[in-house]
Amino acid sequence: MAIKFQYNKTSLGDLGKQLKMRQKALPTIKSKESALRSEVKKAKEAAQEFRSQLSRLEAEYDYMVSLWGEFDCDLLRIADIELTEQKIAGVRTPVLREIVYEEKPYDLFSSPVWYAAGIDLLKRLSKLGIEYELFNRKMELLDFARRKTTQKVNLYEKVQIPGYEDAIRKIKRFLEDEENLSKSAQKIVKTKQQQAGEGQMS
């Protein structure tokens, strides 16, 4: 990215402000990137933990597989999933607040004894499945924000800050050269004037 500038003091001042702003912002952006990296790791670990819990519960479900044939599927359904938001390092992430289940009453005497355990197992399976999906989503959102933040860190660190520093150096050098030339020209004029004055006196 080429930084546009002019060889004058106004441009030098503007570039100085831009450079200071980026140098000041860089530590904050770096700490945000570090926080996001850590949160991505936590979300990934949580998702993996939910995945392994889910696998254990699925094994329980499979253990009862022969019984599920007689289970009335209308007994339980998810009516609603209530979510809230949690801000992590400026990123909005979903958090499960509650799962609202709709349960149809059943006759305890005529229904199989294991129905209560089956309903409980289905509730736990659905809760874990939803938590797993949410943590995956959380991980995706945080990782996307982390990548964007890393890009910004790299842009500031490797492109913009060195670019502004280089441009400032060039302007300063130009202004110094201009000043030296001006001084040299003044000396030459002064010397010529002195010589001319001395010539007139003789």
Residue 126 sits in a domain of what CATH number? 1.10.287.3240
Q: Does a structural domain hold residue 198?
A: no
Tokens of 55: 């696998």
Q: Does a structural domain hold residue 194?
A: no
Q: Are 83 and 94 in contact (CB under 8 A)?
A: yes
Number of domains in the chain: 1
Mean pLDDT of successive 10-residue segments in the chain (202 residues)? 84 93 95 93 90 85 73 88 93 94 86 84 90 92 96 95 94 90 85 75 57
Supply the pLDDT for residue 77.
93
Q: Does a structural domain hold residue 73?
A: yes
Q: What is the span of the domain harbouring residue 50?
A: 9-180
Supply the pLDDT for residue 197.
72
Q: Does a structural domain hold residue 193?
A: no
Q: Are 138 and 93 in contact (CB under 8 A)?
A: yes
Q: Does a structural domain hold residue 148?
A: yes
Q: Does a structural domain hold residue 112?
A: yes
Q: Kindly list the distances between the CA atom of residue 11 and the CA atoms of 8, 157, 162, 182, in Å, as whole numbers in the listed order.
A: 6, 21, 16, 20
Q: Does a structural domain hold residue 144?
A: yes
Supply the pLDDT for residue 202.
54
Supply the pLDDT for residue 146.
96
Supply the pLDDT for residue 133.
92
- Greatest alpha-carbon span in the chain: 137
Q: Does a structural domain hold residue 4?
A: no
Q: How far apart are CA 32 and CA 88, in angstroms?
A: 10
